[in-house]
Chains A and B, each alone.
Chain A
């Protein structure tokens, strides 16, 4: 299967610790997105990359969050000094900008629990 993969699937951490998540997009896709989904809500946009360039960041992405996409392939999302409010499902999606429309394919997500 060559879909979007995310690791780990689950992460439990203590408040104040740093965590890092990885996303591997569909190989030919040049765009990669991060979203966050809290319980009972729809996913909310965090940031996206086109190739290795981070083109947009949402106001939800505080200074404790950083994302990278070295070489335009996989991406990592790091949260420093985690807080209980960071507990959520973190979703990654990828797409190919064909000029037609931007169909995004989602990974299974990483569920973060901050104790």
Chain B
């Protein structure tokens, strides 16, 4: 069965410092992995996706993630945090390779201090 585990429920960084949000996955298939962001009172927005092409995936707003099969990880990073990055971030795996429903982690709340 497919699953994701987000290792931190809350991460706090200062503006201008790097961001690291950790995610481990478990999948019987070659996984499709995603990071979604949810700002307060707004819908879920896709940040980036991994679909078995390049292992380093670039997304919107300067975020990127690296797929590491040996470590079953898909951590999200950004070199320099901005105040507008404060939000809830979800690591997500597709339930059946590329065509199933999405399975979400519990989320990591990112706080950015001025």
Contacts and interface: CB of A to CB of B under 8 A. Distances in A.
Interface of A: 4, 33, 35, 40-45, 48, 56, 91, 93, 97, 100-109
Contacts of B42: 108
A42 B51 contact: no
Nearest to A4: B43
Given A101-B94, A109-B43, A48 B101 contact: yes
12 contacts: A33-B102, A40-B106, A42-B90, A42-B105, A43-B90, A56-B101, A93-B44, A104-B46, A106-B43, A106-B44, A107-B43, A108-B42
Given A42-B90, A108-B42, A102 B107 contact: no
B114 interface: no
Between A48, A104, A108, the greatest number of chain B beta carbons within 10 A of the residue's beta carbon is seen for A104
Contact of B44 (A48, A91, A100, A101): A91
Given A41-B107, A43-B44, A104 B49 contact: no
Nearest to B104: A42
Contacts of B103: 45
A97 B94 CA distance: 13
B43 A108 contact: yes
A106 to B, nearest CB: 4
Interface of B: 32, 36, 42-46, 49, 51, 90, 92, 94-95, 98-107
A42 B101 CA distance: 14
Contacts of A93: 44, 102
Contacts of B94: 101-102
A102 B105 CA distance: 18
A48 B40 CA distance: 26
Contact of B98 (A101, A106, A107): A101
